[in-house]
Structure 1
């Protein structure tokens, strides 16, 4: 059986792992991963690396918990993993995420976005279509989970084409 053709574009959608509650006087932006979150980030990063799911570029919310989640991928994959921190991914809505994803015209063929719910889930639902997304994540997008979506065309102009789920890694369950 011939191998499936390589996708034109691969999007990795990573929701930050479980975070601790804010300490007194601490901002939401500065919340860190809790112990389970650190462990889950390492598990998902290791599973992705073992399966060869390595993005060319990582665009990461500058919030501490997202940076800590992305750091697990750097440790599991390579210290040279190109991680770029983008403030707009912290509080931006789906339109900001789509704009950032679509503006990577000269980027390599794969891109990871490390961000926050509900936006990560909204982007996945848009990329897969509501019915397919509902089957993939019937209970919602759990913290620390990674979706890998393949596209036959590159996203552009703030719009995502319809893609297909190539992989799903959930630290607690549902690995495909």
Structure 2
């Protein structure tokens, strides 16, 4: 897996909020958030903003549920936060997530909005298996936001924000 060295010095990993089940003939890509998902996205965005978390850049999967989760985060963070939608984040591997993060040399903090299991695997690649099991024993929940800082030559989970 790719190693990520600063910048960025802070990474936010946000798993999209809960999506609706696909309707007949609907592609997975096109599934929107369900009512709980909309509420959870707003709650986690508000909590993150209340804690002063504000990335320089938000990179989001182009899937509808990620776009809707990103919209909630963008509203809470303020219109000046740059948002980019990245096709490669849908159905990606953890290596792809890490490569995209590593390519963000101009930003000191980056938020990635994506999918599981890739989001959990990316977190594990950054903080290690033991830390993942300790900090998220039940896995990476929908609308969960991991906040990581680069400390002492390694990535450390400093906070986990949920609805």
Same fold (TM over 0.5): yes
Q: Which has the higher contact order (CA 8 A, sep 6+)?
A: 2
CA separation in 2, counterparts of 1:115 and 1:10? Answer: 17
Classify the secondary structure of the residue corresponding to 2:154.
coil
Is residue 2:128 matched to residue 1:129? yes
Instruction: State the match for 2:139 in structure 1.
Output: 140
Instruction: State the match for 1:37 in structure 2.
Output: 37
Q: How far has the Cα of 1:8 moved from its partner? A: 6.2
Larger deviation: 50-59 or 72-81? 72-81
Instruction: State the match for 2:156 in structure 1.
Output: 164
Gaps of 5+ in 1: 1-6, 154-160, 172-176
Deviations 1:88-107 (A, max 9, x none): 000111111111111112x2
User: In the alignment, is the contact (CA less than 8 A) between 1:94 and 1:119 conserved in 2?
Assistant: yes
Q: How far has the Cα of 1:170 moved from its partner? A: 1.6
Deviations 1:111-132 (A, max 9, x none): 0000000010001111111111
Is residue 2:118 matched to residue 1:119? yes
CA separation in 1, counterparts of 2:14 and 2:30? Answer: 19
CA separation in 2, counterparts of 1:79 and 1:130? Answer: 36
Task: Give the paired residue count.
Answer: 157
TM-score by length of 2: 0.92
Q: How far has the Cα of 1:13 moved from its partner? A: 0.1
After superposition, the CA RMSD in angstroms is 1.5
CA separation in 2, counterparts of 1:56 and 1:134? Answer: 29
Instruction: State the match for 2:71 in structure 1.
Output: 71
Is residue 2:55 matched to residue 1:55? yes
Instruction: State the match for 2:95 in structure 1.
Output: 95
Gaps of 5+ in 2: 1-6
CA separation in 2, counterparts of 1:162 and 1:63? Answer: 31
